[in-house]
A and B are shown apart, each in its own frame.
Chain A
Amino acid sequence: MFSAKDFSRKLQLLAMLFIGFYISWSGLYDEIATYWEDIVYLTQQHIFLVATSGLAAILIGVPVGIWLSRPAMERSAEAIMQVFNIGTTIPTLAVIALSMTILGIGFAPAFFGLFVASLLPIVRNTFTGLLAVPDHLLEAATGMGMTPLQILIHVELPNALYVILSGIRTALAINVGTAPLAFLIGGGGLGELIFTGIDLMETGMLLAGAIPTAMLAVTVDFLTGQGQFYFVSRGVNPLR
């Protein structure tokens, strides 16, 4: 199947290949290698930031989405979702800046900013995914004597899982892409090399930050895609 997603992934790989050729041709490789220690340290910092804020967003976002989809929330859920939707329209850089004004500088505001930026797609997809589970499945499940919790675990979540994981995939893509900005509020990460490289007009330094960031984004997208492929039941998985 030829989809936009496949196409963009191929394009990414192609771009990386050309960057690779360019780097080795221009002698930039040696230049980048001089930052090796920084790359290792900052990548670890970067991954830690992405992993913790992403995980927190999943751990909070999925339950919130579930809670909003419960029949008891039917009236207020849409209003709350509107708040989340407005949240999505705020640029992530602004979110980071705002969180700095409240939490100061360092890991905490960076973590919080990334957490907020990735929370929204997760909540929204969990909510809409669960609401999209057909009523007749719920009726059948109820009529068979399943409790609401059993219905949630055995019927609703498995059927909404693909959509929920899509939300997580989007959220993590936003998270990884926004994480370099964490440097601006003292959160560290590969942004340090990128922004400093830009300021000093040092291509090697810039690439030492940009290439691992790009690779990280591709890897995370690949892993969540694999998760979608394997964790979602074959009966409801459009990928297989």
Chain B
Amino acid sequence: MIQLEDLTKTFSTPNGPVVAADKVNMTVPTGEICVLLGPSGCGKTTALKMINRLIMPTSGRIYINGEDTTQLNKFELRRRIGYVIQQIGLFPNMTIEENICVVPKMLGWDAKKAKERAAELTDLVGLDPHQFLHRFPKELSGGQQQRIGVIRALAADPPVMLMDEPFGAIDPINREIIQNEFLKMQEVLKKTIIFVSHDIDEAVKMADKIAIFRGGKIEQYDSPSQVLAHPANPFVADFVGSDRTLKRLRLLTAVDVRDIDAPVASMQASVEEVLVSAKSHANRIVVLIDADRHPVAYVTADELSGATGVVSDFAHDLPTTVPVGADLRAVVSEMLSHDTMWITCVDERGHFAGVVTQPAVTAALGQKSSSVRDQATDARLANV
């Protein structure tokens, strides 16, 4: 847990004192990612760097797991905090292994243990230790270097990590991949992380909590869905953008809004049967599945009404399907690109897993609830 208490930094400049951080108060619970977000010069990086005392606070206190860090020697303090910067900062004169072992060595680990740790971590980010540990940073791609930058910070297993726009210099495609990898790692590692970003999309994706800064002050400190659904003031609303409702699509997955009880029928079912089940669900669409429950086609109730025979005669090809774990942004994007009001979800094995409709998506985004995420969880539980 990280607690900042009245943290203040005043820089004296030739034009008089500048307040970079003004009585910042916040608590980041253990195992959560808190993103400090704001335009440049808003004090987010200053706030971050005061935590590992790269910048000395003018006043205020910082507690890490309840311990007042002002009492600690700054070198000891920093060795206990993982630090990742945008420029990565791998030491080019050292091999990857040496880079990872810097902090463990300073902490007095024996060489064998440190090397084992380096191999373990390299493996964790999907790089082959035999291939990469003895390379130099210049022999790695930007994405690989940033992965090493992250695991170097994790080397001595610090409970707390500070990340200063860690994925800012990576191309969008790789950034997405590394962010996902990092979130997956975080699920297991449960570090307490403070993460500086100026990218609202990244913040929404990574954060458990977002702190929006302006002029050294926190304007709003809340969960991503709260910040997007209920911006505290016009500045926050403006900063998160007029498309903030669309950004919330990211926070929900198809599971949260799908209708798992949507009617299905086999290809060989009779028209009458299908019409009955469509009526009972008040649904105009019935998805047809094969013997293995793979969705293969659909029929509309309108076309069936008054007809007889087997439904396969009226079947249309399914425009597309989405994995049930996909976020709503991807789902809506698929709907729009196929010009359809509904979409079929499939699970990992390709089995039918419900239907997502545009009204269901709209309803989920429109909820004036305290937390969309909470409701979504409720809905998920109700579906199980």
Residues on A lying within 8 angstroms of B by beta carbon are: 134, 136-137, 139-147, 150, 154-155, 158-159, 161, 233-236
Asked whether A159 lies within 8 Å of B85 as measured between CB atoms, the reply is no
- Chain B contact residues: helix, strand, loop or mixed: mixed
Give the interface size bracket for B toward A.
20 to 34
The CA-CA distance from A236 to B153 in the complex, in Å, is 22
Asked whether B79 lies within 8 Å of A143 as measured between CB atoms, the reply is no
Q: Known A-B contacts: A143-B162, A235-B138. Give 12 more (CB < 8 A).
A: A137-B89, A137-B92, A139-B54, A140-B90, A142-B54, A143-B83, A145-B106, A146-B102, A155-B93, A234-B136, A235-B92, A236-B92
With a CB–CB cut-off of 8 A, which chain A residues contact B26?
none
Given contacts A142-B54, A145-B106, A235-B137, contact A136 B87 (CB under 8 A): yes
The CA-CA distance from A44 to B72 in the complex, in Å, is 58
With a CB–CB cut-off of 8 A, which chain A residues contact B293?
none
Asked whether B78 lies within 8 Å of A145 as measured between CB atoms, the reply is yes
From B74, B93, B102, A158 is in contact (CB under 8 Å) with: B93
With a CB–CB cut-off of 8 A, which chain B residues contact A159?
91-93
Given contacts A140-B83, A144-B102, contact A155 B91 (CB under 8 A): yes
Given contacts A139-B89, A235-B137, contact A144 B79 (CB under 8 A): yes
Give the residues from 161 to 183 in chain B that come closer than 8 angstroms, CB to CB, to chain A: 162
7 cross-chain CB contacts under 8 A: A139-B87, A140-B88, A140-B90, A142-B54, A145-B75, A145-B80, A235-B92
From B75, B85, B93, B103, A235 is in contact (CB under 8 Å) with: B93
The CA-CA distance from A161 to B237 in the complex, in Å, is 52
With a CB–CB cut-off of 8 A, which chain B residues contact A134?
87
The CA-CA distance from A178 to B136 in the complex, in Å, is 40
With a CB–CB cut-off of 8 A, which chain B residues contact A145?
74-80, 103, 106
With a CB–CB cut-off of 8 A, which chain A residues contact B74?
145
Distance in angstroms from A240 CB to nearest chain B CB is: 11
With a CB–CB cut-off of 8 A, which chain B residues contact A140?
83, 85, 87-91
Asked whether B83 lies within 8 Å of A144 as measured between CB atoms, the reply is yes
Given contacts A159-B92, A236-B93, contact A143 B54 (CB under 8 A): yes
Does B95 sit within 8 A of A, measured CB to CB? yes
Q: Name the 10 nearest CB pairs between A and B, nearest first.
A: A140-B89, A235-B136, A145-B78, A145-B79, A143-B83, A136-B87, A158-B93, A233-B93, A235-B92, A136-B89
Give the residues from 129 to 163 in chain B that come closer than 8 angstroms, CB to CB, to chain A: 136-138, 152-153, 162
A136, A137, A145, A233: which has the most chain B beta carbons within 10 Å?
A: A145
From A141, A147, A234, B91 is in contact (CB under 8 Å) with: A141
Distance in angstroms from A215 CB to nearest chain B CB is: 34
Distance in angstroms from A151 CB to nearest chain B CB is: 10
Asked whether A233 lies within 8 Å of B78 as measured between CB atoms, the reply is no
The CA-CA distance from A236 to B106 in the complex, in Å, is 23
The CA-CA distance from A234 to B87 in the complex, in Å, is 21
The CA-CA distance from A134 to B162 in the complex, in Å, is 21
With a CB–CB cut-off of 8 A, which chain A residues contact B89?
136-137, 139-141
With a CB–CB cut-off of 8 A, which chain A residues contact B152?
144
The CA-CA distance from A139 to B85 in the complex, in Å, is 8
With a CB–CB cut-off of 8 A, which chain B residues contact A154?
91, 94, 102
The CA-CA distance from A145 to B83 in the complex, in Å, is 10
Asked whether B94 lies within 8 Å of A233 as measured between CB atoms, the reply is yes
The CA-CA distance from A134 to B89 in the complex, in Å, is 9
With a CB–CB cut-off of 8 A, which chain A residues contact B77?
145
Given contacts A136-B85, A233-B94, contact A144 B136 (CB under 8 A): no
Does B52 sit within 8 A of A, measured CB to CB? yes
